[in-house]
Structure 1
Amino acid sequence: MTTNTSGAVTTGGGNARSERLLWILTGATFLIFFQAYMVAPLLPRLAAVFHVSVEMAGLMVPAYLMAYGVATLFYGLLSDRIGRRPIMIASLSAFILLTVLTGFSQSAEQLTTVRLLTGLGASGVVPLALALIGDLFPYRERGRPLGWLFGAMAGGMAVGAVAGVMLEPFITWRGLFFGVAAAATMVLAFLLPYRDLLGNKSGTARPTLGTLFAGYRTLLGSSRGQRTYAYVALNAVFHSGVFTWLGVYFSRKYGLGDVGIGLALLGYGIPGFLLGPVIGRLADRYGRSQLIPVGLLIAGASAAALSLDMPLIGAPILVTLLSVGYDLTQPLLAGIVTDLGPNRGQAMGLNVFTLFVGFGSGSLLFGAMLPLGIETALHVFGAGAILLGILAAFLFRSEMHK
């Protein structure tokens, strides 16, 4: 057992305590994405509750996502200097407190503000969990644990979207946030006995602006880093833009209510939750060069097909395929990020910053296109993802088995 430069304890992929910590981090990741994505399908309901337009209510989503993304830049860098432990515990605690406060919001403006603060406070957990995978597992074995974490993200998105909209009539939207806070408190209690694996305070000197920018120049100075982060951003814009407004899509196009929307979204995230580790193993064995382009092509074609006239039964199938496209891209891109430089906290912080700013931007961009018609927005987003997939076949051809 050794300690790396970031202060995290490296135990190797087969250690039982590392595996149990992986499950706890998976639970924390699931809850953070659960609460992040249970809001989007509730937008029609929240707009009615607070007497605002759907577009105004929709600002709650990018407020959280973009604040989350910006804060990760600081958490990741700081964790490379003082260790993962204090940052992760403090961030998870902030997530619990601010999620409780969200449930007490009395207006759309208050809810949006608290969501923004929650994004700032909670954004230390997932990027540091991803960075810890780099600390605890060698590169050739990271596909499986990264698959679990990204499967938890996908599962949280899926279950949050479905459970949130279906449970709201029974426990209210406030009860949803209180329930998430209670579950996160349990995760924190499970995490504390494993805090030694999160790393102690590092002896590395306090970072300066020079070392900060030097780290980013290293990450973005190679063509590998540039294309990886670019695809993280553009893929996030695509998926968040489409997913955020799927509740409105099913409401307007098929006249579905809350329960119907929840059922229609049931397939989103389930493939990643079930197949995330399998996809990770495939990436470890065969490389990422083929899987990433295929994922983009599947997702783009699914989004474009949603704009067509079809029976209601066909749309949820396309939503599931959209999710498969996500599962074949973002986890594999994150695996490349863990291999870009020595400071994994900074590298993964930049990755999650790029991911969540992309998420927020995609939500805003798709929303801005709604006056043109939701079908038009789906056409544009789908065509963009297909083009990215074609280019990825050439840009990522060097990402073979390593």
Structure 2
Amino acid sequence: MDFLIIGILFLLLFLGLADNQTIPAILPLLIDSLHITVEQAGLLAVFYSVAAAFASLVTGIVSDHYGRRRFLVAGALLFGFASWLAAHAASFTGLTLARGLTGLGAGTISTCSIAFAGDWFDYSIRGRALSWISTAYFAAPILGVPLAAQVAGRLGWRDTFYFFAVLAAASALISLRLPHDRRDSGPSSEKWKATFRACRSFFKRRDTSAGLVIAFLVSGGLYGFLYYIGQWLNSSFGVSTGTIGWVFMLGGFAALVSAPVAGSL
């Protein structure tokens, strides 16, 4: 296996996951600094999630024809620029728009990193490669969130977004080491028609439609719980931002241990 490619794709996936999961940890700081209500703070998640879902759908389709690599680099650059804008946001509106742009970058990275691995690695080792890359789902709460929360608690929430802006810029540079996609010279009208036919077929099938609904309900319920847990810990028990980060790390370790156990059951 090419561990350089695995490492780059891991870093890209880690970037988006750690950023997204850090927001609940620093939410009390955002609410106090921007003088907003808990309900208003939920708009940060809405704008981010809608943008990420849109980017995932569009870039997944378009990258089938133009290649994943260019979208990974562009997604990381957009992510870094949006994080820089978030750090400089002078109002809640500015921060919300910046988070929407961040969602576009994160959705692009999330979709194209997994798709790149699926394209590049042979079927015989694809599962192992994806398992290594997918460890980013556990590394984000174990490493990324506590570190970002410590930065926010000691230096302020704006420095957390500077941290992710620098990480995104580094990820974009490292992504240039990815090999060029194995693609034909360019998409034809027939290829586009075939793509749209496949998309229509996907949404018409009852099994895939049911899977989408189940994934939406599970993800929505889980993230709805996680998004406000930091604010609840802070308002109910006076837990600091740094400590909230450690709580997320503990949850990440629990997920790391329970995942293989659940698989065996």
TM-score, normalized by length of structure 1?
A: 0.59
Q: 1:291 to 1:70 in 2, by over 3 A?
A: same
C-alpha contact 2:149 2:244 (8 A) present in aligned 1: yes
Aligned: 1:261 with 2:244: yes
Q: What's the counterpart of residue 32 of structure 1?
A: 16
Q: Report if aligned partners of 2:153, 2:242 keep a CA contact under 8 Å in 1.
A: no
1:82 to 2:84 alignment: no
How far 1:140 moved relative to its partner? 5.7
SS in 2 for 1:59: helix
Please give the alpha-carbon distance, in whole angstroms, between the structure 1 residues aligned to 2:254 and 2:171. 24
SS in 1 for 2:135: helix
Match in the other structure for 2:110? 126
Instruction: Supply the distance in 2 between the matched residues of 1:131 and 1:226 (Cα, whole angstroms).
Output: 20
Whole-angstrom distance in 2 between the partners of 1:22 and 1:206:
33
The amino acid across from 1:189 in the alignment is: L
Cα gap change, 1:209 to 1:23, in 2 (>3 Å): closer
> Deviation at 1:266?
2.0
Query: Aligned pair 1:143/2:127, yes or no?
Result: yes
**What is the CA-CA distance between 1:21 and the residue it aligns to?**
0.5
Letter in 2 for 1:251: N
Asked whether the equivalents of residues 154 and 268 of structure 1 are also in contact (C-alpha less than 8 Å), the reply is no
Cα separation, partners in 2 of 1:58 and 1:87, compared to 1, 3 Å: same
Moved more, 239-248 or 220-229: 220-229
Q: Is the 8 A contact 2:153 2:240 kept in 1?
A: no
**1:172 Cα deviation (Å)?**
1.7
How far residue 76 of structure 1 moved from its aligned partner, in angstroms, is 0.6
The alignment status of 1:152 with 2:132, answered yes or no, reads no
The equivalences for 1:313-392 within 5 A come to: none
- 1:193 is paired with a residue of what secondary structure? coil
2:141/2:248 contact within 8 Å kept: no
2:15 is aligned with what amino acid? L
What is the alpha-carbon distance in structure 1 between the residues aligned to residue 79 and residue 184 of structure 2? 22
In structure 1, the partner of 2:29 is 45
AA aligned to 1:72 is: S
Larger Rg: 1
CA contact (8 A) 1:161 1:262 kept: yes
Equivalent pair of 2:117/2:129 in contact (CA under 8 Å): yes
CA contact (8 A) 1:151 1:275 kept: no
1:173 aligns with 157
C-alpha distance in 2 between matches for 1:238 and 1:253 = 21
Higher mean Cα deviation, 185-194 or 70-79?
185-194
Offset of 1:247 from its aligned partner?
Answer: 0.7
The one-letter code matched in structure 1 to 2:234 is: S
State the 1:114 CA deviation: 0.9
Question: What residue ranges of structure 2 are gaps of 5+ in the alignment?
Answer: none
The amino acid that maps onto 1:32 is G
| Whole-angstrom distance in 2 between the partners of 1:141 and 1:233 | 30
Matched, 1:236 2:219: yes
CA distance in 2, matches of 1:262, 1:211: 46
Please say which of residues 119-128 and 212-221 is displaced more in the overlay.
Answer: 212-221
Residue 159 of structure 1, CA deviation: 3.5
Give 1:106 deviation, angstroms.
0.7
Distance 1:207 1:37 in 2: 41
Task: Output the CA distance in 1 between the equivalents of 2:99 and 2:169.
Answer: 19
What is aligned with 1:22? 6
Two-structure CA RMSD over aligned residues (Å) = 2.7
Instruction: Find out whether 1:192 has 2:176 as its counterpart.
Output: yes
Distance 2:153 2:12 in 1: 26
Question: After superposition, what is the alpha-carbon deviation per residue over 1:125-159, rounded to whole angstroms, capped at 9, x for unaligned?
Answer: 12111112221234564333333333203322443
* Aligned partner letter, 1:266: M
- Which has more helix, going by share of residues? 2
Closer/same/farther in 2, CA of residues 22 and 169 from structure 1, 3 Å limit: same
Amino acid at match of 1:120: L
Which stretch of the first structure deviates more once superposed, 213-222 or 62-71?
Answer: 213-222
Pair 79,219 (structure 1): closer, same or farther in 2 beyond 3 Å = same
Distance, in Å, in 2 between the alignment partners of 1:229 and 1:291 is 21
Query: 1:321 is matched with which residue?
Result: none
Hey, what's the Cα distance between the residues in 2 that align with 1:184 and 1:151?
A: 19
